[in-house]
Amino acid sequence: MIKLSIFYPNAEEKKFDKDYYINIHMPMSIKLQGSAVRRVNVDFGISGLPGTKAPYIAICHFVYDSFEAFESAFVPHADVLMKDIANYTDIDTIIQFSEVKI
Amino acid sequence: MIKLSIFYPNAEEKKFDKDYYINIHMPMSIKLQGSAVRRVNVDFGISGLPGTKAPYIAICHFVYDSFEAFESAFVPHADVLMKDIANYTDIDTIIQFSEVKI
């Protein structure tokens, strides 16, 4: 299983519309990508170590059977999904592909 | 549900013993923290965006019912678990507590 993680760094001068993200963008992304998405997870940052702010205001994880499954699911809808990002944030995202070990 | 995420930045001059982490450290951590841990997930970084290396060599997520559940499970074993880190890495970790939204 491979995982696409999308990290939104927690910068104070940036916007991030949590309601739009949870209620509009994520349902659209999940619907468009279909059954290739095995698991989805969204976290909203609370804090870092005690007394510090969360490194990321939001983190999203999509799990697929393979990198090829990700490509087949995501690439046909990449334009629509990427363009929708401006509707909820102006944060420069950090992207990681991982192997799910546990 | 709250999530403790532990990020290990992917720095080339640093060590990270994946076998020790998966086969020794994580089972120890899971056993010591007991049933307070609702879900555990470990990812090993493959890449970032095409042509770039993964931002994190490893990421670990523990999910608990509440921050209090995390404290009750983790704090009594914090010394043992923190000291074991040196056995698999010299990376300075990044910590985040998050609210699990999806």
Give the pLDDT mean for B19-27: 98
Using 50, 70 and 90 to split pLDDT, how confident is the model at B5? very high
pLDDT at A44: 98
State the Rg of chain A over Cα.
14
Cβ contacts of B2 on chain A, cutoff 8 Å: 46
What residues of chain B lie within 8 A of the CB of A47, using their CB?
Answer: 96-97
ipTM: 0.95
Task: Pick B98's closest partner by Cβ from A2, A43, A99.
Answer: A43
CA distance A69 to chain B (A): 16
pLDDT at B50 over 90: no
Contact A95 B43 (CB under 8 A): no
- Rounded to whole angstroms, the Cα distance separating B14 from B85 reads 13
Predicted local distance difference test score (pLDDT) of residue B96: 98
| Nearby residues of A98 by Cβ (< 8 Å), 6 or more positions away | A2, A3, A5, B43, B44, B45, B46, B54, B56, B59
The pair of three-digit structure tokens given for residue A76, joined into one six-digit string: 């046909």
Nearest CA-CA distance, residue B15 and chain A, Å: 18
Rounded distance between C-alpha atoms, residue B62 and residue B64, angstroms: 7
- Nearest residue to A10 (alpha-carbon basis) of A97, A92, A96: A92
CB contact under 8 A, B2 and A101: no
Q: Which residue of B has its CA nearest to A62?
A: B102
Query: What pLDDT does residue B26 have?
Result: 98
B44 pLDDT exceeds 90?
A: yes
Tell me the pLDDT tens digit for each residue of A34-68.
999 999 999 999 999 989 999 999 999 999 999 99
